[in-house]
């Protein structure tokens, strides 16, 4: 998949002076619910109304969507409000029904993105379409899988493509429902700067009171838009109640968000930025030098353990180090999450070095 400026054309056609906003309920529940929310949103910054018609559930027994009848409700909402309509598709049958009901935007969910066979089926069903097609990141933090899904859609001659960053599942509990792993979305953005990138703070946070902060972080990182779950009665929503906001709250979020400039041409800004980046580069070089020295010591430890026939992994020692580093990191303004990720990576690299010593 090559960089293609045509990918951004559909976003430019909205002619917005603010980021693109997609909003609406996690699930379409009733015709009345869909229409009420759509009318609440029609005079706001929302350009596209979203509602799940088919809902993939982790375990059976939960609400799995109203099905095709909900598409008629979206058609009616579109006719009454003028908003474009969006829904999730996971199979060729979903695609066919959505196209028959003139849905404007189709997104592929995280559980589908993880399955290349499913993405290919959807891509084949959408081949040559002029609809907007958005691909959510896969459930697991795998950039190649995300890129592979994009390539399948691009190869199906779908011109109006974009991606949704909704965070990644993790076994360990964090403050997020799905860990943002911003670096993965940023890497995608670096590879394809003309591909519209939309943030889904609802699924990243899982909590409505965190949506404002994560939305702002996404805009600070130059994301092109937001997709936010919005419901007239969130506490009684049939799915994902905790992460939905009211239309009134959504409008307040819009007011409070600060849209940043992509850059500043002023000489003073560029001069100061260049100096600060030089300092960063120097620190980065020192970090690599220190880590290289640390791994040489790990090699020596590996030799000693091999000589004495001692196991490589020493859990007690590792837990002691981790606890100390978290406390030390906090005193230096580093988050626990960052310290954990960094030292886990360092620890794994140390183990890899010692394993190489054992194999010699």
Position 359 scores a pLDDT of 85
CATH fit for domain 5-256, picks 3.40.640.10, 3.30.1060.10, 3.40.50.720, 3.20.20.70: 3.20.20.70
Give residue limits of the domains in the chain: 5-256, 267-359
Establish how many alpha carbons lie within 13 A of residue 167's alpha carbon, considering only the half-sphere containing its beta carbon. Answer: 20
Residue 192 to residue 214: CA distance in whole angstroms: 22
CATH fit for domain 267-359, picks 3.20.190.10, 1.20.59.10, 3.40.50.150, 3.30.70.100: 1.20.59.10
Position 1 scores a pLDDT of 61
Q: With a cut of 70, which residues of the chain have pLDDT below it? A: 1-6, 262
The answer to pTM > 0.75 is: yes
Position 3 scores a pLDDT of 58
Residue 222 to residue 245: CA distance in whole angstroms: 23
For 253-318, give the DSSP string.
Answer: HHHH--PPPS----HHHHHHHHHHHHHHHHHHHHHHHHHHHHHHHHHHHHHHHHHHT--S--HHHH
Position 57 scores a pLDDT of 74
Vertex 359 angle, CA 355 and 360, to 5° = 120
Residue 182 to residue 190: CA distance in whole angstroms: 12
């Amino acid at each position: 998949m090559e960089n293609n400026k045509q990918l951004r054309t559909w976003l430019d056609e909205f002619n917005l002076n603010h980021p693109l906003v997609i909003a609406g309920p996690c699930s379409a529940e009733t015709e009345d619910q869909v229409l009420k929310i759509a009318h609440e949103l029609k005079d706001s910054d929302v350009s596209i109304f979203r509602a799940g018609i088919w809902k993939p559930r982790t375990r059976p027994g939960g609400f799995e969507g109203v099905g095709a009848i909900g598409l008629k409700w979206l058609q009616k909402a579109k006719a009454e409000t003028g908003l474009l309509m969006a829904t999730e598709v996971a199979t060729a049958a979903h695609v066919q029904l959505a196209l028959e009901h003139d849905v404007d935007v189709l997104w592929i969910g995280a559980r589908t993105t993880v399955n290349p066979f499913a993405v290919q089926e959807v891509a084949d069903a959408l081949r040559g379409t002029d609809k907007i097609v958005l691909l959510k990141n896969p459930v697991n933090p795998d950039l190649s899988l995300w890129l592979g899904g994009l390539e399948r859609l691009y190869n199906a001659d779908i011109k109006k493509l974009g991606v949704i960053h909704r965070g990644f599942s993790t076994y360990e509990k964090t403050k997020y429902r799905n860990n943002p792993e911003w670096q993965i979305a940023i890497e995608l953005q670096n590879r394809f700067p003309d591909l519209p990138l939309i943030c889904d703070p609802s699924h990243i946070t899982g909590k409505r009171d965190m949506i404002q902060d994560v939305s702002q972080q996404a805009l600070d990182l130059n994301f092109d838009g937001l997709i936010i779950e919005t419901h007239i009665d969130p506490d009684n929503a049939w799915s994902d109640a905790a992460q939905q906001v009211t239309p009134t709250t959504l409008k307040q979020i819009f007011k409070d968000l600060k849209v940043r400039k992509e850059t500043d041409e002023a000489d003073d800004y560029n001069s100061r930025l260049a100096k600060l980046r030089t300092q960063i580069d120097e620190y980065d070089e020192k970090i690599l030098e220190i880590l290289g020295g640390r791994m040489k010591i790990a090699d020596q430890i590996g030799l000693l353990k091999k000589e004495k026939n001692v196991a490589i992994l020493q859990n007690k020692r590792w837990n002691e180090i981790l606890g100390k580093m978290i406390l030390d990191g906090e005193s230096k303004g580093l988050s626990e999450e960052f310290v954990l990720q960094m030292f886990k990576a360092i620890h794994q690299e140390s183990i890899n070095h010692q394993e190489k010593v054992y194999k010699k």
